């Protein structure tokens, strides 16, 4: 049971976590922090939080669990603001989509990263942003990856694990660098492909017609291109190396496919399509 939960960044992920923990009865008071007073006001109105503050340092005082849910590019500023104010014994965690950059941000803010800091990442989300997109069911049956560091105290990891289990998630642990490589391939690459495809088509001369005849497949493939551009700019910059590796591998394979199409190489084309279908059917059902 969390006595006082402080969530910094009341968007879709922070808001969803607050909702999930409240409906599970897993926390007492919920204090919300955001830089947008409108967002905070709405969060109180919707019953997502009990108390609001735009000052993160003030808000973390007395909280036994602090969750930082801002875009990864804003983590350093938030950590710097809360570092001197977090109560002794409080656990601090985050939900950022990249982990090496968050650990670097914590290092900049604290110099010695506290034993009670537990980096984390829920593998759940939506292309919608803001408190209106908060959904208490978002984490049901979804994975959360924690990437504890050598100095992270086990009791702190267990407290964060219990929090996510109460929100309905299944918790696993991974090493920071491995997390960023895996997520570059499984999440960051597909998002960039979707953004790039829509942008390419939107710049085409016949764009009106293209979008008019866009069918279900186009909608399915491009849904994630409606995600927040600021969040995704931050992820691109924060996970540069692994994203560039994933893009290079993809570009090589795409060039091979283009060559096969140009040469009318039926066998190559069919082999790639069959292999992809089999893999997707096996992993995604």
Summarize as ranges the residues that interact with ligand NAP (CB under 6 A). 8-14, 33-36, 39, 69-72, 74, 77-78, 95-97, 121-122, 125-126, 129-130, 228, 231
Q: State the minimum distance, in angstroms, from the CB of residue 8 to ligand NAP.
A: 6
Judged by beta carbon, residue 18 or residue 74, the one nearer ligand NAP is: 74
Using the minimum distance from each CB to ligand NAP, give the nearer residue, 76 or 153.
76
**CA–CA gap between residue 208 and residue 14 (Å, rounded):** 37
Angle at 155 between CA 151 and CA 158, to 5 degrees: 110
Own/partner contacts of 152-155, CB < 8 Å, gap of 24 or more, are: 152/115, 152/116, 152/117, 152/118, 153/115, 153/116
Nearest alpha-carbon partner for 230 in 24, 57, 11: 11
In the complex, least distance from residue 139 CB atom to ligand NAP, rounded to whole angstroms: 10
Task: Kindly report the length of the chain.
Answer: 285
The upper half-sphere exposure of residue 267, i.e. CA atoms within 13 Å in the direction of its Cβ, equals: 0
| DSSP code, position 186 | I
Q: Which is nearer to ligand NAP, 34 or 180 (CB)?
A: 34
CB of 243 to ligand NAP, least distance (A): 14
Residue 11 CB, shortest distance to ligand NAP, in Å, is 2
CB of 142 to ligand NAP, least distance (A): 10
Min dist. Cβ of residue 228 to ligand NAP (A): 5
DSSP assigned state of 64: S
Judge whether 61 and 87 are in contact, CB under 8 Å. yes
Report the nearest approach of ligand NAP to the CB of residue 238 (Å): 9
**Which lies closer to ligand NAP via its Cβ, residue 8 or residue 156?**
8
Residue number with CB closer to ligand NAP (193 or 257): 193
- Could you give the CA distance from residue 198 to residue 207 in angstroms, rounded to a whole number? 10
Judged by beta carbon, residue 121 or residue 179, the one nearer ligand NAP is 121
Angstrom distance (rounded) from CA 36 to CA 14: 14
Instruction: Look at residues 235, 120, 101 and name the one whose alpha carbon lies nearest to residue 170.
Output: 120
- CB nearer to ligand NAP: pick between 39 and 93: 39
Q: Which is nearer to ligand NAP, 78 or 146 (CB)?
A: 78
Cα distances (angstroms) measured from residue 217 to each of 132, 200, 223, 284, 285: 27, 17, 10, 16, 17
CA 54 to chain centre: 22
- Measured on CA atoms in the order 249, 253, 259, 262, is the torsion positive or negative? negative
């Amino acid at each position: 049971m969390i006595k006082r939960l402080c969530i910094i960044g009341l968007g879709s992920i922070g808001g969803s976590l607050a909702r999930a923990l409240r409906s599970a009865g897993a926390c007492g008071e919920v204090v919300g922090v955001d830089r947008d007073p409108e967002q905070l006001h709405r969060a109180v109105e919707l019953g997502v939080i009990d108390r609001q503050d735009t000052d993160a340092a003030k808000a973390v005082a007395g909280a036994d669990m602090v969750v930082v849910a801002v875009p990864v590019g804003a983590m350093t500023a938030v950590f710097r603001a809360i570092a001197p104010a977090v109560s002794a014994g409080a656990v601090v965690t985050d939900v950022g989509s990249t982990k090496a950059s968050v650990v670097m941000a914590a290092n900049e803010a604290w110099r010695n990263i506290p034993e009670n800091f537990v980096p984390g990442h829920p593998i759940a989300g939506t292309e919608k942003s803001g408190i209106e997109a908060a959904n208490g069911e978002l984490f049901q049956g979804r994975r959360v990856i924690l990437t504890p560091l050598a100095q992270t105290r086990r009791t702190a990891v267990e407290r964060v694990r219990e929090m996510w289990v109460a929100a309905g998630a299944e918790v696993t642990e991974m090493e920071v660098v491995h997390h960023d490589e895996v997520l570059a391939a499984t999440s960051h690459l597909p998002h960039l492909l979707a953004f790039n495809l829509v942008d390419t088509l939107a710049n085409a001369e016949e764009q009106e017609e293209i979008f008019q005849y866009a069918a279900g497949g186009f909608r399915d493939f491009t849904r994630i291109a409606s995600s927040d551009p600021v969040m995704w700019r931050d992820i691109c910059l924060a996970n540069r190396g692994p994203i560039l590796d994933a893009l290079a591998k993809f570009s090589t394979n795409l060039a091979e496919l283009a060559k096969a199409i140009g040469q009318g190489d039926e066998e190559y084309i069919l082999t790639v399509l069959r292999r992809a279908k089999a893999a997707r059917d096996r992993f995604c059902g």
